[in-house]
Amino acid sequence: MIVRHRDALLHNLIANDPSVRPTFGYHEGYTDLTPLVDLPETYVLLSNGKNCASIWEWSAPDVWQGHSIFLPEARGRVGIDAGRAMCRYMFDEIGAKMLWGMTPLAHRPAQLFNRLLGFKEAGTGVDAADVDVRYFVLER
């Protein structure tokens, strides 16, 4: 079951876990996602309630950029099932028509995860942190 969060407690816990932190945020120090809950038209925070979470950021009408974070025990089938369910939630409950993301070229497991969720490759680029990325798109 996927839950939409009105607080960022679980997201902060996962984002700052030592196994997740090096691949999320690309900045020094603690990641605090709490300010995002005050912007419900711009950010949607979802999870499976325990070890899989996503942050969806509005990009354009009906278009949302996804960021996913999973604790180690949720990688594999648990994470794939939760990822698919969170994408369905975005389509069915939020009304998204397109979901997209950018994944560092060096983060091959995350690229595989995107493909397993059904995302299609959409080119490469460089993100705001000057990291080489591959773009992925999933349309309803």
- Confidence at residue 29, expressed as pLDDT on a 0 to 100 scale: 85
- Confidence at residue 26, expressed as pLDDT on a 0 to 100 scale: 65
Sign of CA dihedral 66, 69, 70, 75: positive
CA atoms within 13 A on the CB side of 41: 2
**Residue 53 pLDDT grade (very low, low, confident, very high; cuts 50, 70, 90):** very high
- Confidence at residue 24, expressed as pLDDT on a 0 to 100 scale: 79
24: tokens are 């999320």
pLDDT per residue as tens digits for the range 56-92: 999 999 999 999 999 999 988 999 999 999 999 999 9
CB atoms within 10 A of CB 104: 16
Compute the distance between CA of residue 53 and CA of residue 2 in angstroms, rounded to an integer.
9
pTM value is 0.93
Residue 134 above 70 pLDDT? Answer: yes
Residue linked to tokens 């080119």 = 123
pLDDT per residue as tens digits for the range 100-122: 999 999 989 899 999 999 999 99
- Confidence at residue 58, expressed as pLDDT on a 0 to 100 scale: 98
Q: What are phi and psi of 125, to 5 degrees?
A: -170, -160
Compute the distance between CA of residue 7 and CA of residue 113 in angstroms, rounded to an integer.
26
